[in-house]
Amino acid sequence: MKIGFIGLGNMGRPMAENLAKAGYDVTGFDTQPVETQGVSVATTVTEAVRGQDVVITMLPNGAILQSVAAEVLPELEAGSVFLDCSTVDVASARLVAESAEEHSVLPLDAPVSGGVGGASAGTLTFMVGGSETAFQKAQPLFDVMGQKAVLCGSSGSGQAAKICNNMILGATMIATCEAFALADKLGLDRQSMFDVVSTSSGYSWSMNAYCPASGIGPQSPADNDYKPGFSADLMLKDLTLSQEAAELVDADTPMGARAKELYEQFVNKEDGRGQDFSAMLPRFEKRGRSRTD
């Protein structure tokens, strides 16, 4: 199977390298210069994708995805697969899928969970929208780049699953951080807080697997000065996508909306940019009830 890979950034480069390591013939393209191991880097998109069996994209947003898809799809043979792994808005994912179908290309939207660590280790989780036929064709690639791929339904369902998951994650991380800050002020030590909550009904992935307090629970970005990990900027991106989607379908998502506001403030008005999304804990530590900004 010959693969074209567009977008060799923090996520795309290690994903493409893992495919090359597994023996696939991978040709990549990025608008920025990039050094890779085992992936041939083309000088144009066309050169990277013409005649490939599968083209994978790992791009920043829906507008870029749409413009790349417009260049790529006319170059592909009928029956080839266009596999987008970026996190983008549901509307862009559906538009790109329609356009792929017009070119007799099989579309899949397959955003990932697992971050740069998961991309490097080949342990990503893929949430996939598209047909069973396309999913079967891409399955061997999911097996190399990840540990799990779930076919969630028709085109756009992968993006829908991703933003719903991350809306829960953003809200539970904030809840976990504000609870730690309250526990501090009530004189409860953090280890006791962790021991109770991680085995009680307040448990969650944010507390149990990614504890925002340093020195407690499993290793997490809190133990590395809140270096990401999963950045607050990317959490803001995903929460924004969740609210755009909610707007589109008239869904009432007050917790998601508030989580988006808080990450927006943290990233754009405070010192959150470039920090892990769990750095909400030191943010809450510094605050009292009187501040409403």
Q: Which two tokens stand for residue 55?
A: 């083209």
For every residue of 124-190, DSSP letters joined together read EEEEEEE-HHHHHHHHHHHHHHEEEEEEEESTTHHHHHHHHHHHHHHHHHHHHHHHHHHHHHTT--H
CB-nearer residue toward ligand NAD: 173 or 197: 173
Interatomic CA distance for residues 228 and 116, integer angstroms: 9
Residue 128 within binding range of ligand NAD, rule CB under 6 A: no
The one catalytic residue among 162, 185, 237, 269: 162
Task: Note if the bond before 62 is cis, omega within 30 degrees.
Answer: no
Residue 9 within binding range of ligand NAD, rule CB under 6 A: yes
* Residue of closest CB approach to ligand NAD: 9
- List 18, 86, 204, 206, residue binding ligand NAD (CB under 6 A): 86
Residue 83 within binding range of ligand NAD, rule CB under 6 A: no
User: Cα separations (Å) of 34 from 9, 15, 18, 64, 69?
Assistant: 8, 14, 16, 18, 21
Residues linked to residue 127 through DSSP beta bridges, in sequence order: 150
- List 3, 19, 68, 222, residue binding ligand NAD (CB under 6 A): 68
**In the bound complex, what is the minimum distance in angstroms from residue 172's beta carbon to ligand NAD?**
17
Residue 31 within binding range of ligand NAD, rule CB under 6 A: yes
- List 116, 150, 164, 175, residue binding ligand NAD (CB under 6 A): 116
- List 11, 16, 76, 259, residue binding ligand NAD (CB under 6 A): 11
- List 42, 55, 56, 58, residue binding ligand NAD (CB under 6 A): 58
Phi-psi region of 139 (alpha: psi -120 to 50; beta: other; left: phi over 0): alpha
**In the bound complex, what is the minimum distance in angstroms from residue 252's beta carbon to ligand NAD?**
25
Q: Which two tokens stand for residue 238?
A: 């995903």
Residue 162 falls in the annotated catalytic set: yes
CB-nearer residue toward ligand NAD: 1 or 116: 116
Asked whether 129 and 163 are in contact (CB, 8 A), the reply is: no
List residues binding ligand NAD (CB under 6 A): 6-12, 29-32, 58-60, 64, 68, 86-87, 112, 115-116, 230, 234, 237
List residues with catalytic annotation. 162
